[in-house]
Structure 1
Amino acid sequence: MSLGEALIAFTLAAGLLTLTPGLDTALVLRTAAVEGPRRAALAALGVVLGCLAWGAAVALGVGALLAASQTAFTILKWLGAAYLLWLGVNLILKPRDRFEAEAATLAPPATGLTWMRRGLLTNLLNPKVGVFYVSFLPQFTPEDVSAGPFMFLLAAIHGVMGLAWFALLIAATQPIAGALRKAAVVRWLDRITGGVFVAFGLRLALDRR
């Protein structure tokens, strides 16, 4: 795909994934509801910094692999496709009924920076973020660009989208929190996201690059 097509496709896919409730969403919602918007904003910033750290690690490692070895690309392609298909099928067949904001509850912090550290560690200590980036980012990297910098750019785009979504969550904590606690909403978000994962997994498996 062309550079423009890659950016558009990634933005659409990442936008949908950003809206899907997870631990990061729970953390920001809980902090906004219990501890106020300023502290929630710091937690959100920490989460995004964690995404950028994972993105940098994946861009450096995966970018070097893709540039050096066609065999490495092929192995990564099949592992990534299998992971995305597995994840997608599970979301379609076994969607959640709810996500628990209480799962993100930690001990009360002592300083303002602790909220940022809370968000950062929530992301950095979740290896699924790294596995997901390894599986997802290479799909949107055109052949004629430098893989490492481009994948970090994609991670940065994802981070900006995350900041926008968290700002919306913080601004409208009660209405959005209520919607995300409805079983039907959570189930359909999981199913739609699962369909996206399956589609991109198949696309990755069929890629002949």
Structure 2
Amino acid sequence: MAGLRRGRRPDEQPPEVRMTTLPTGAELLRYVVLVTGVIIAPGADLALVLTSAVRGGRQGGLATTMGIVSGVFVWAALAGAGLAGVLVASATGYLMLRLAGAAYLLFLGIKFLAQSRSVAPPVDRTGGAGKARSFWSYFRRGWVADVMNPKMAVFYLAVLSNFLHPGDFLPGKVFFLALVHASIGLLWFSSISLAVGRSNILARNPRVRRMLNLAGGAVLVLLSIEVALPMQW
């Protein structure tokens, strides 16, 4: 009888596992702090937004920002499907992603360095078609840079594993965490884009614009080397 009291009756159903989508308050706070630290740390995204805002004004910076935050959802989807973990675990796959990302950063860096040689202001495409082409050009630049960033694969593999638990509704929770990440990135990089885009000194002084292009290009080149040949500190 004692054994029956301690155990479950034959006709008793196992306890229902509730599928949850939202993290707890403590988990959300920890995630926000972690993601904010990663976003505001100087890196390729910041350099790309700054140089885009200098070259293309407010529209260029905001379009690049939207491309970057859109890439977050790509990595979240891959992480939710388990592909990010497979990619990181595969030495060949991770090496290919790392070299592709480094090559793209190097391409952008050289492009900005070449643009720094000219002090002429950028062409203002006032036509609707011209603005659309310019927007998608900057958007694509941010999206490709984020999707080809190997650090995003490592970040999502390491971070999401700490915030996903048995009983979670995986697609919903991964999407929610990605939405938080994208929202913080959108707020931070949009603020930078607006600040740089509205700066009158950049519009009046082409030499300042040239120096920022030179600095941004140099940073992207150095980051491409760091991505291709990660240093052990």
TM-score tier, shorter chain, comes to: 0.5 to 0.7
Q: 1:44 to 1:190 in 2, by over 3 A?
A: closer
1:192 aligns with 2:219: yes
The alignment status of 1:102 with 2:122, answered yes or no, reads yes
Between the aligned residues of both structures, percent identity stands at: 8
1:56 partner amino acid: F
After superposition, the C-alpha distances for 1:137-184 in whole angstroms (9 at most, x for unaligned) are: 2233324245954455444333222211122123313336635432x4
The DSSP-based 3-state class of the residue aligned with 1:102 is coil
Structure with more of its chain in helix, by fraction:
1
The letter for the 1-side match of 2:197 is: I
Aligned to 1:181: 209
Name 2:162's counterpart in structure 1: 144
| Letter paired with 1:189 | G
1:49-72 superposed Cα distances (whole Å, 9 cap, x missing partner) = 444444334432x2234x257433
Asked whether the 8 Å contact 1:50–1:120 carries over to 2, the reply is no
Contact 1:81 1:135 in 2 (8 A): yes
Q: Secondary structure at the match of 2:115?
A: coil
Which is further off, 49-58 or 189-198?
Answer: 49-58
Letter in 2 for 1:166: S
TM superposition score normalised by structure 2: 0.54
Give the whole-Å Cα distance in 2 for the aligned partners of 1:16 and 1:87: 15
Distance in structure 1 (CA, Å) of the matches to 2:99 and 2:63: 30
1:8-157 residue pairs with structure 2 within 5 A? 8-14=37-43, 16-22=46-52, 25-28=54-57, 48-60=65-77, 62-65=78-81, 67-68=82-83, 70-73=85-88, 74=90, 76-88=93-105, 96-98=113-115, 102=122, 105-109=124-128, 121-124=136-139, 126=140, 128-136=141-149, 137-141=152-156, 142=158, 143-145=161-163, 148-149=174-175, 150-157=177-184
Contact 2:72 2:182 in 1 (8 A): yes
Structure 2: any 5+ residue segments left out of the alignment?
1-29, 165-172
* 1:138/1:151 contact within 8 Å kept: no
* 1:107 shift after superposition: 3.9
Counterparts in 2 of 1:139 and 1:108: CA distance versus 1, 3 Å: same
Residue aligning to 2:199: 172
AA partner of residue 135 (structure 1): M
Q: 1:48, 1:163 within 8 Å by CA — same for their partners in 2?
A: yes
What displacement does 1:90 show? 5.4
Give me the whole-angstrom Cα distance separating, in 1, the residues matched to 2:108 and 2:121.
19
Q: Which amino acid in the other structure matches residue 63 of structure 1?
A: A
RMSD of aligned Cα (Å): 4.2
Distance 1:76 1:10, change over 3 A: farther
Aligned residue for 1:13, secondary structure, equals coil
| Residue 107 to residue 19, structure 1, CA distance change in 2 (3 Å) | closer
Q: Distance in 2 between matches of 1:101 and 1:155?
A: 32
- TM-score for both structures, normalised by structure 1: 0.59
2:55–2:209 contact (8 Å) kept in structure 1: no
Q: Pick closer, same or farther for the CA change 1:131–1:70 going to 2, 3 Å.
A: same
After superposition, what is the alpha-carbon deviation per residue over 1:16-47, rounded to whole angstroms, capped at 9, x for unaligned? 3245413x543325xxxxxxxxxx6xx76565
